[in-house]
Structure 1
Amino acid sequence: MAMHAHRWILIIMVILVSTACGSTTSIAPTSLPQQALVSTAEDSPAAFVVDLPPELINDPAERAQAVIFDMLSGNVDEPEQWNPFARNARLDKGLHQAMIEPLFILNYESGVIEPWLGERMDPNPEQDVWTLTLRKGVRWSDGERLTSEDVVFSINLLLEHPDLELDFFAGLTNSIESVEAVDEHTVRFQLTAPNPRFQLDFFSVKVWGSFNLVPEHIWRDKDPYTFTNYDPAQGWPVFTGPYVLESFNEITFVYVRDDDWWGVEAGFKPLPAPKRLIWTSVNMEADLAQAVEHLDSLGNVTLEEYQAIAALKPNLVTWLDGVPFSWIDPCSRTLSFNTLQQPWGDKDLRWAVNYALDRQELVTDAYEGTTTASRHFFPAYPPLDRYVQLLEQAGLYEQYPLMQHNPQLARQLIEGQGWSLGSDGYYEKDGSQLSLTIHVHEASTTMQRSAELIATRLKAVGINASSKALTNNEWVYHKTNGVFDAMIDWDSCGSINEPWASMNRYHARWAQPIGIPVTNYNNQVRWSNEAYSDLVDAIGALPLGDARIEPLFVEASAIWLEELPFIPLVQYRQLISFDETYWQNWPSASNAYIHPPSWWQSMHVIIHEVQPVNTETKK
């Protein structure tokens, strides 16, 4: 059982997945007492299993006060990088779950944008001026107050260095004309154009992370490209969260609770119950039982993996009590065509592929029955399902039978475009064979298996299809530069509670010629349809929930279905589990106070909700 290869974080920002097991030499992180990290495996990297402080895991009282999370994206190549804007920074090592607090958090379960460092954001009637009110009493971990000047500094840092903009707040620098501090707790944003989604898209942890504030008193004279934000002698890194860095290496990161955290005095929240939070990378292939023994939170695994782990850990809980156990991720899987790569600019050929593939086969075989077929590129969340139902009511799924598996119709469409079946069983035209190479990321076995299944189905209808797994660097290059026929990806990701964000990713403004990189993976299919784009612009100009969005959405969706530049395949589900041996009140469908990913910045909510199973161990 391949336990590690497909435990890969899927986020808008591409994170380099490192599978190498590095040195366990401890790095002194802060002015706090250093805690040596000693591997419980042999010295040989091949034998590495788990790397946790033995004085913690071997002391029942200390162990009961720590929460240990699986860092499922692997070891950290640059562990001393604590600059949240750096491309080589790994925020999922606990940095943005324990230390960097967001302004707001979108709660997927309630649909509410919950205030955190920010108290509220209010637009003017024209939606081109937004006013942020900060929560009073917020302090950085070094005791300095967080003020509107820190917000203005952080925003201007990006405006002056727009190439520091990261995927999960992509478009921020193009949206802001100017920013000013009105008073100590009030910030005014002048936008370049009206934007009803300004707060939601950039400051609310809509997917994975959000724009992060940095303290001006530390950063004002630093080069944002070279500053690592790490100096233990000065107590860096400094952020506002309820935990500060205690120790780390490339495998394990330990954070200790800051009992002077601002939230208590400000009346925002009490201290979180855990004394320590630990994020660690484990090697399940070496020894599954040893690797998972101490984990309180385990990131995405397959059903087969989960069943093996549950046999070892009887106190596991998941989002759903039974199969498929999992939570729907916001990034569904799609088969994306390079519409500039001929002959795949032909919509009839793209529809032929749609009729040839079998979504239920993908669900059953590639995903072990843990997901569902997609009838739209949106995640199957109730606020978005309401829009998809509008397409049903308009008869679009009858006009464009997306979910139909019909190999005969696939052949008819191919032959209708002048292709003839050759003696080798594949179609040809003007001396060229009809072929399709489907690229996938090598770290995802589910995507690789999906591509193999699709290729087999395509061969059966006369398309010489194959799949090719790419390394992360190859994946980024091929996708952004348009060096591909087709890809299985997740780049429709964006919409959570309204349709515009995902639809806008395929706006004609983002399309580039082959060889010119696209911006933040937007419209990597290089599809230019002005009518669709105009409708998306019209949707984007309307407030969230405005009834006028509905007919615009239906009209734009009809254009997408007619053209089908990318094909919805399956929903993506995250099989995340939590262990109730030491900690309880984890999120679940029956206790849905927040969504469950432990590698997202929304983890701040969970940290404040979990409680010890034995209250006597709480200090």
Structure 2
Amino acid sequence: MNHLKASLLAGTAFAVALTGVALAQDVPREDTVIFDIDRTIRDPENFNPFTPGVKRQHGAHQTMWEPLFILNYESGEIEPWLATGFEANDAQDEWTITLRDGVAWSDGEAFNADDVVFTVQMALDNEGLSEREPATIRAQVASVEKVDDLTVTFTLNNANPRFVLENFANRIFGSFLIMPQHVWEGEDPATFAFNPPIGTGPYTMTSMATNRAIWDRNDEWWGAASGFEDLPEPLRVIFLESGGEENRAQLMVANEMDAAQAVTLGTFEAMGFQNPNVIAWFDQLPYAWPDPCARQMEFNTTVAPWDNADMRRAVEMLIDRNQIVNVAYEGTTQASRSMFVQYGAMEPFISAIEEAGNGFSADSDVDGAKAIIEAAGYTMGSDGIYELNGEDLTANIHVNSASPEYTRTIDVIVEQLNRAGISARAVPVENSVFWGEVLPLGGYDMSYSWLSCGSVNEPWASMNRYTNASIAPIGERAPGFNNTGRWDTEATAAYTEIVEQMGTMPIGDPAIVDMVAEAHGYLAAEVPFVPLVQAAKLLPFNTTYWTGWPTADNNYNHPAFWWGSAHQIIHNLERAQ
């Protein structure tokens, strides 16, 4: 800690030098907000969001391109932005979106249904547009039609109650972005660089380099002119590549950065020691905001003895989640109570699960677990390891070696299992092998992952990943990394029936709450995976120049400022007094 504090002090000159070029303009520092980017802008001349590469989180979809809707993680509401509403037919295979009147592109041209229809049709007609958003549109949409200047109707290939949520609401990271027809028409969408870019947002691009993007406020922004929103207070927004954790800490301490990418607890505490204006989501431990992908441990349910639900449940009971929180995460996260991320919007479902007795405890039950293991015929050997027919009870846990977070967590679990009588060991695997072979092919006994990721305001997206709808044989790829442990029992069938029914119901149907609690009971009974802890994103914000950052106490939405929902963050910023 002392070394890091000294390093931060010594690095102040570096921090000022790093941002000096960006700020040597005619906009004062107190009118400029500076966000961290954690990667190089590899192609600063290309603004085509539909082809591979980093083209949006350096400010493009936070300041220039606006979404139709923004999902509020705390309330669960899909809030209007460029659009004002949506509705579906009874079959939920036709959706109509109503656009906001008065929206304009930064060059003065009107934004309307023609732009929406043009952009969606462009995605439908061009298989070469390979990014997730156009690919999802192609998979879901059969046709798109302009009803009038402010109304668009989508006809889907299949019923989908979550069509708007999945495509236009910034559910996770971004959404399908609408492009200006009058600029893109006649261009090859697979090669068009869209430079200089325009959008409907309150900022326009001033300059772009491999390590920095500068966006200046457009005082003619349609939102202020129409009364939708006041002009945001920052005159300039800069996205700056910090160059790593220590450098971003130096910039924050020197007040030359206002929002940083995730840091470790030690770095955050050192930053706060040098600059008391540095805050995070929580004002005390765990400090960190939970990333959408909660951490868990998968079982390969085809491999003995883990094909036995009782044995899987015994392992779950041996795991002390509090110790994982305290040792692997140094207190910067929370134990998972269910399969879900613990956002405000998910709390009704998690509470119902717990009230039904189908949740998971933060504490271990070693005696109860041992009783289950012994009932299965195992006896404790002289070496402290359970054995059956002369064979030790072993647990090999594959873990992605790309991050100390992953390996530290599994090291704690390995120690817990060994202490209880299971001969456990970690099997570290390089990132590409882990995601390319181990998980999708089922090449593990147990593995560390976050494969329940998906649900942030409703439960179906995560629960649908563990149905028996598309179970592949071991050695063949599990589609979409779904049910990689090949859980396929009578309980799976009952679980699947509930989840599939949920999938046909509108978001917000009150009957879903009890259905979630019932379905989760099958997961708690057979434990195809073990929910462990929430993912931790310790994101520092600096209040020296700007206040209004999202926090647990000021939770107008989540704090992921590299997402398209960051429009809300920028609009909530106020100059510090």
Match runs of 1:88-107 below 5 Å: 88-89=53-54, 91-107=56-72
**Paired position in structure 1 for 2:532:** 569
Are the aligned partners of 1:80 and 1:228 in contact in 2 as well (CA < 8 Å)?
no
Separation of aligned partners in 1, 2:484 and 2:118 = 33
**Paired position in structure 2 for 1:54:** 20
Separation of aligned partners in 2, 1:51 and 1:316 = 21
Which of 68, 78, 90 lines up with 1:125 in the alignment?
90
Which of 363, 387, 394 lines up with 2:349 in the alignment?
387
Identity of aligned residues (%): 40
Separation of aligned partners in 2, 1:417 and 1:521 = 31
- In 2 relative to 1, CA 441–136 (structure 1 residues): closer, same or farther, beyond 3 Å? farther
Separation of aligned partners in 1, 2:393 and 2:186 = 58
Are the aligned partners of 1:50 and 1:281 in contact in 2 as well (CA < 8 Å)?
no
Question: Alignment RMSD, CA only?
Answer: 3.3
- 2:209 matches 1:243: no
Shift of residue 446, structure 1, vs aligned partner: 2.4
Are the aligned partners of 2:74 and 2:345 in contact in 1 as well (CA < 8 Å)?
no
Are the aligned partners of 1:538 and 1:552 in contact in 2 as well (CA < 8 Å)?
no
Deviates more, 1:315-324 or 1:182-191: 315-324
Shift of residue 186, structure 1, vs aligned partner: 1.1
Q: Helix, strand or coil for the counterpart of 1:597?
A: coil
Are the aligned partners of 2:296 and 2:529 in contact in 1 as well (CA < 8 Å)?
yes
Separation of aligned partners in 1, 2:39 and 2:426 = 25
Listed one character per residue, the Cα deviations across residues 331-386 of structure 1 (whole Å, up to 9, x for unaligned) are: 32211223345543332332222122211101111121222211201122344332
Q: Which amino acid aligns with 1:135?
A: R
Are the aligned partners of 1:48 and 1:283 in contact in 2 as well (CA < 8 Å)?
no
TM-score (norm 1): 0.81
Deviates more, 1:371-380 or 1:326-335: 326-335
Which of 334, 338, 344 lines up with 2:300 in the alignment?
338
Are the aligned partners of 2:36 and 2:241 in contact in 1 as well (CA < 8 Å)?
yes
Separation of aligned partners in 2, 1:168 and 1:403 = 37
Q: Which amino acid aligns with 1:246?
A: T
Separation of aligned partners in 2, 1:499 and 1:285 = 34
Separation of aligned partners in 2, 1:78 and 1:519 = 32
Q: Which amino acid aligns with 2:397?
A: I
Shift of residue 575, structure 1, vs aligned partner: 2.4
Separation of aligned partners in 2, 1:59 and 1:590 = 35
Listed one character per residue, the Cα deviations across residues 403-424 of structure 1 (whole Å, up to 9, x for unaligned) are: 5513344344345445566676
- In 2 relative to 1, CA 350–108 (structure 1 residues): closer, same or farther, beyond 3 Å? same
**Paired position in structure 2 for 1:451:** 410
Listed one character per residue, the Cα deviations across residues 25-64 of structure 1 (whole Å, up to 9, x for unaligned) are: xxxxxxxxxxxxxxx99xxxxx997874524446795222
Match runs of 1:211-610 below 5 Å: 211-224=176-189, 226-227=190-191, 229-231=193-195, 235=196, 237-284=197-244, 290-292=250-252, 293=254, 294-341=256-303, 343-396=305-358, 403-417=362-376, 426-427=385-386, 434-478=393-437, 479-528=439-488, 529-610=492-573
Shift of residue 2, structure 1, vs aligned partner: 13
**Paired position in structure 1 for 2:36:** 70
- In 2 relative to 1, CA 305–531 (structure 1 residues): closer, same or farther, beyond 3 Å? same
- In 2 relative to 1, CA 166–492 (structure 1 residues): closer, same or farther, beyond 3 Å? farther
Are the aligned partners of 1:169 and 1:210 in contact in 2 as well (CA < 8 Å)?
no
Q: Which amino acid aligns with 2:115?
A: D
Are the aligned partners of 1:3 and 1:305 in contact in 2 as well (CA < 8 Å)?
no
Q: Helix, strand or coil for the counterpart of 1:298?
A: coil
Separation of aligned partners in 2, 1:54 and 1:583 = 19
Listed one character per residue, the Cα deviations across residues 416-456 of structure 1 (whole Å, up to 9, x for unaligned) are: 44556667655566786544333444443222211110011
Q: Which amino acid aligns with 2:261?
A: G
Q: Which amino acid aligns with 1:333?
A: R
Shift of residue 188, structure 1, vs aligned partner: 0.5
**Paired position in structure 1 for 2:99:** 134
Separation of aligned partners in 1, 2:215 and 2:498 = 47
**Paired position in structure 2 for 1:86:** 51
Shift of residue 173, structure 1, vs aligned partner: 3.8
Separation of aligned partners in 1, 2:436 and 2:45 = 27
- 2:144 matches 1:179: yes
**Paired position in structure 2 for 1:22:** none
Separation of aligned partners in 2, 1:590 and 1:494 = 25
Are the aligned partners of 1:51 and 1:282 in contact in 2 as well (CA < 8 Å)?
no
Listed one character per residue, the Cα deviations across residues 142-198 of structure 1 (whole Å, up to 9, x for unaligned) are: 443333232223333443456856567985544333221112221111223333322
- In 2 relative to 1, CA 256–549 (structure 1 residues): closer, same or farther, beyond 3 Å? same
Separation of aligned partners in 2, 1:543 and 1:288 = 43
Separation of aligned partners in 1, 2:20 and 2:572 = 27
- In 2 relative to 1, CA 394–602 (structure 1 residues): closer, same or farther, beyond 3 Å? same
Q: Which amino acid aligns with 1:598?
A: F
Q: Helix, strand or coil for the counterpart of 1:64?
A: helix
Q: Which amino acid aligns with 1:337?
A: F
Shift of residue 130, structure 1, vs aligned partner: 1.1
Which of 103, 112, 115 lines up with 1:147 in the alignment?
112
Separation of aligned partners in 1, 2:334 and 2:134 = 29
Are the aligned partners of 1:178 and 1:190 in contact in 2 as well (CA < 8 Å)?
yes
Query: What are structure 2's unaligned runs of at least 5 residues?
Result: 5-9
Shift of residue 306, structure 1, vs aligned partner: 1.0
Are the aligned partners of 1:50 and 1:282 in contact in 2 as well (CA < 8 Å)?
no
Q: Helix, strand or coil for the counterpart of 1:92?
A: coil
- In 2 relative to 1, CA 258–335 (structure 1 residues): closer, same or farther, beyond 3 Å? same
Q: Helix, strand or coil for the counterpart of 1:201?
A: helix
Query: What are structure 1's unaligned runs of at least 5 residues?
Result: 5-39, 42-46, 615-619
Are the aligned partners of 2:286 and 2:334 in contact in 1 as well (CA < 8 Å)?
no
Q: Helix, strand or coil for the counterpart of 1:466?
A: strand
Q: Helix, strand or coil for the counterpart of 2:406?
A: helix
